[in-house]
Amino acid sequence: GESVGLHLPTLSVQEGDNSIINCAYSNSASDYFIWYKQESGKGPQFIIDIRSNMDKRQGQRVTVLLNKTVKHLSLQIAATQPGDSAVYFCAENIFQGAQKLVFGQGTRLTINP
Amino acid sequence: NAGVTQTPKFQVLKTGQSMTLQCAQDMNHEYMSWYRQDPGMGLRLIHYSVGAGITDQGEVPNGYNVSRSTTEDFPLRLLSAAPSQTSVYFCASSRTQGTGNTIYFGEGSWLTVV
């Protein structure tokens, strides 16, 4: 079956640097993509999403880029802070008009002081 | 507004026992889903519902039953628990239209089957 995957399982960056987390997806019919942050012992926390008809969307300190040609999604976090340390998941909604998410494996982001 | 409420938070079961994980939402959302998360993995869809009286299977439905008798509640039943069902379970709900920011997750239920 089709699935969403991540290129790197772990990422360490210096506090204040920018972070880029990548994700590959395979379902060309997905209508939107989501980035979640998950801290230990908690549920997924919505960060930002992007519809399939867009290629870039910006939020507060975060930017999501979507490249449909190569089926690639990335999350850029600017000026990382200690509170950004968490596991980040990308997810795609494979059922248009409803919520049916396929999650990637996750990337653990560690912020070094 | 409580959002999505899951109970229990933690549960230990013996192999073969049955139990129900409860999920309730107070946002009048049509869509509700159950996901499981194994260590080091992303969430995987077990079952979902697009409205009261309607349910369907997700990616990993075996060993689980669901029902949706009301809009608010979407319980997940394990009829005969197995060690492979040791996982963290998340319930989610969303409205009919919208994107990622309309999906709300519960805080999770940690289940251990021994």
**Tens-place pLDDT, residues A27-40:** 888 888 999 999 98
Out of A21-35, B12-26, B34-48, the most confident range is B12-26
Q: What is the pLDDT of residue B100?
A: 67
Query: What's the pLDDT band for B39 if we cut at 50, 70, 90?
Result: confident
The letter for the amino acid at B53 is G
The letter for the amino acid at A111 is I
* Predicted confidence (pLDDT) at residue B11 exceeds the cutoff of 70: yes
Tell me, yes or no, if A85 comes closer than 8 A to chain B by beta carbon: no
Please judge whether B100 and A89 are an interchain contact, meaning their C-beta atoms are less than 8 angstroms apart: no
Residue that the structure tokens 């850029």 belong to: A76
Tell me, yes or no, if A10 comes closer than 8 A to chain B by beta carbon: no
Q: What is the pLDDT of residue A68?
A: 92
Q: Mutate which of A38, A48, A101, A108 to disrupt the B interface (most B C-beta within 10 Å)?
A: A101
Residue pair B56/B32 in contact (Cβ under 8 Å)? The answer is no
Tell me, yes or no, if B90 comes closer than 8 A to chain A by beta carbon: yes
Which member of A1, A98, A105 has the closest CB to residue B42?
A: A105
* Cα angle, residue B90 at apex, residues A108 and A106 outer, rounded to 5°: 20
Closest chain B C-alpha to A83 CA, distance in angstroms: 19
Higher pLDDT, B62 or B1: B62
* Predicted confidence (pLDDT) at residue A66 exceeds the cutoff of 80: yes
Q: What is the pLDDT of residue B83?
A: 97
Please judge whether B45 and A100 are an interchain contact, meaning their C-beta atoms are less than 8 angstroms apart: yes
Q: What is the pLDDT of residue B2?
A: 64
Please judge whether A106 and B48 are an interchain contact, meaning their C-beta atoms are less than 8 angstroms apart: no
Tell me phi and psi for residue B85, to 5 degrees: -95, 5
Q: What is the pLDDT of residue B84?
A: 96
Higher pLDDT, A3 or B110: B110
Query: What's the pLDDT band for A98 if we cut at 50, 70, 90?
Result: low
Average pLDDT over residues B49-78: 96
Tell me, yes or no, if A64 comes closer than 8 A to chain B by beta carbon: no
User: d(Cα A79, Cα B20) in Å, to the nearest integer?
Assistant: 44
